[in-house]
Chains A and B, each alone.
Chain A
Amino acid sequence: MLRTEEFTLNMGPQHPATHGVFRLILHLDGETIVKAEPVLGYLHRGIEKLAESRTYTQVIPYTDRLDYLAAMLNNLGYVQAVEKMIGVEVPERAEYIRVIVSEMSRIASHCIATGAYALDLGGFTGFMYPFREREKLMDMFEMICGSRMTFSYIRVGGVAADLPEEFYPAIKKFLQEFPSCVDEYDGLITGNEIFQARTKGIGILPAEKAVKYSLSGPVLRGSGVKYDLRKARPYGIYDRFDFEVPVGKNGDCFDRYYCRILEMRQSHRIIKQALEQLQELPEGPVMAKVPKVLKPPKGDVYHEIEGAKGILGYYVVSDGTVNPYRVHVRRPSFINLDLIDEMCRGWKIADVVAILGSIDIVLGEVDC
């Protein structure tokens, strides 16, 4: 038998399909992947270390820069961790606002995931449609907190400000239009034969393996494991809403992608319910009475929420001073990336882009 030499191909760090500065060293046998080595750290900013020299409130803007596509969820995770520490009761109104903005953030993140996935696989039109809805969401975020991506809106004890008047008609219009927009994504991307040929049966991830490697989010649910923290261990007021946890069947790229589409519909349901319940609430404060300078008691706390990419956990240690002694973030994209080598092995070069895109990584979060 003639033996051929292995070929090493460098994908990234400046590759558009890696969704940021991510490098993948591919060892190839012909066109087949023998091994895929991820190289991380090109976007490392040391956010966990920076947090140690900031006060508890000042860390919030830095959490925005982890998963910058769903910044509200990062805010929420950190803030709830600190609230657990100092034991503060958040006003009802603020809880509803938090649910609304975090589900909006989840939709915005999934819009990018689906749109960029279509782009990765060569469908530019499919990229534009989800981005159109994301643009509307960002306009609304701008009304709420003045920023389009790095919100810093959620505060320890509530939110920075109540929802503005002009937000309500905008969100109502959005909620009305959104289901038909998701139908459009279904028609454009999901139903497309080329897209299906590129994703169905590719990069299969068995459920046991996904659980073993503690994967989470749509990547785990795509493999058929019904685990969502909003249902399994409701935080905030998530137990008050009626929604389903969509799961896939085969654990291939298509299921992971389709899980996100279905999740967008569920998030839409949650926002609708939250908005209805919010409008029945009387006007009230959106901030609990929290001291200006936070000094949590000595100790540590771990709190996790269901982020857009998976389970987002914050571990905060306090030594009794105004600055956290240590902040560690369990970043879902980073942990979901663990299995990239095994998922890529045996597939062709062209499938690497499909597999990587289906995991939906954000490098701000991977490198932290």
Chain B
Amino acid sequence: MQMFGSGLIKGLAITWKELFTKKVTVQYPDEIYPLPDRFHGKFKLNKDACISCGMCVRACPNKVITMETETVARKKRLLKYTMDIKYCLFCGLCVEACPKNALGYVKDFELAQYKRDKLTVVLAAEEPLPREEKERLEAEAAQRAAAAKKAAGARGGSAFGNKAEGGE
């Protein structure tokens, strides 16, 4: 039979040990606990790498991401990339969906804001190209395409000829 109270004393001995262990408290605003590399924090977008494919928009379960694009010379160009962070689940499906690794995280978790509208984060905002510029680019592309077609036609013809020769 155990003496009554021995359990309490054993418990006290366990807590007593804690008095001599190292302190683990991190003085938060002054020092920040190191965050791992995969931390899901604030988003960042590499505008140059983004090809405006819209995979992230489709991957998001909560319709957080909106994307505005314009098509110049059959090439998509990113105009505006907005994230409605207040609905974000931080699940990481958008980052995972990105085929060019353009979307990523920053190790920053201090996302609280005083105003509700500040929770809509604009990650990229570009002016649409002026009309002359667009026309110039389109004309250039058309020229390039025509040249390429001509070259391909020439190559394709010779290849066909070679094949015909080989067949004989």
Contact = CB atoms under 8 A, between A and B. Distances in A.
**Does A associate with B in a complex?**
yes
Interface of A: 54-55, 57-62, 64, 125, 129, 139, 142-147, 150, 152, 160-161, 164, 166, 184, 187-189, 191-194, 196
A64 B40 CA distance: 15
B53 to A, nearest CB: 12
Interface residues of B, number: 25
**Chain B interface, >50% SS class:** loop
Given A58-B60, A58-B93, A125-B11, 15 more contacts: A57-B59, A57-B93, A139-B36, A143-B36, A144-B38, A145-B38, A146-B39, A146-B40, A146-B90, A147-B90, A187-B7, A187-B13, A188-B14, A188-B15, A194-B8
Contacts of B60: 58
B36 A164 contact: yes
B92 interface: yes
A129 B11 CA distance: 11
Contacts of A58: 59-61, 93
Contact of B89 (A146, A150, A161, A191): A150
A144 B37 CA distance: 9
Contact of A61 (B14, B39, B89): B89
A146 B92 CA distance: 9
Interface of B: 4-5, 7-8, 10-11, 13-15, 35-40, 59-61, 89-93, 96, 105
Contacts, number: 77
A29 to B, nearest CB: 32
Contacts of B89: 61, 150, 152
Contacts of B8: 192-194
B91 A61 contact: yes
8 contacts: A54-B61, A59-B61, A142-B39, A144-B38, A146-B39, A161-B38, A187-B10, A193-B4
Nearest to A184: B14
A183 B4 CA distance: 20
A164 B7 contact: no
B4 to A, nearest CB: 6
The residue in B40, B60, B96 that gathers the most chain A C-beta atoms within 10 A of its C-beta is B40
A236 to B, nearest CB: 23
Contact of B92 (A142, A160, A184, A189): A160
A61 B93 contact: yes
Nearest to B17: A184
Q: Closest 4 interchain pairs by CB?
A: A58-B61, A61-B91, A191-B7, A146-B40
A242 to B, nearest CB: 30
Contacts of A160: 92, 96
B7 A166 contact: no
B166 to A, nearest CB: 39
A193 B38 contact: no
Nearest to A152: B91
Given A54-B61, A164-B36, A191-B11, A145 B93 contact: no
The residue in B36, B89, B105 that gathers the most chain A C-beta atoms within 10 A of its C-beta is B36
A166 B35 CA distance: 12
A368 B82 CA distance: 30
Nearest to A51: B61
Given A61-B61, A142-B39, A193 B5 contact: yes
Contact of B10 (A129, A146, A152, A191): A191
Contacts of B37: 164
A19 to B, nearest CB: 23
Nearest to A160: B96
A139 B34 CA distance: 10
Nearest to A139: B36
Contacts of A152: 89, 91-93
A294 to B, nearest CB: 12
Nearest to B7: A191
A152 B61 CA distance: 12
Contacts of A166: 36
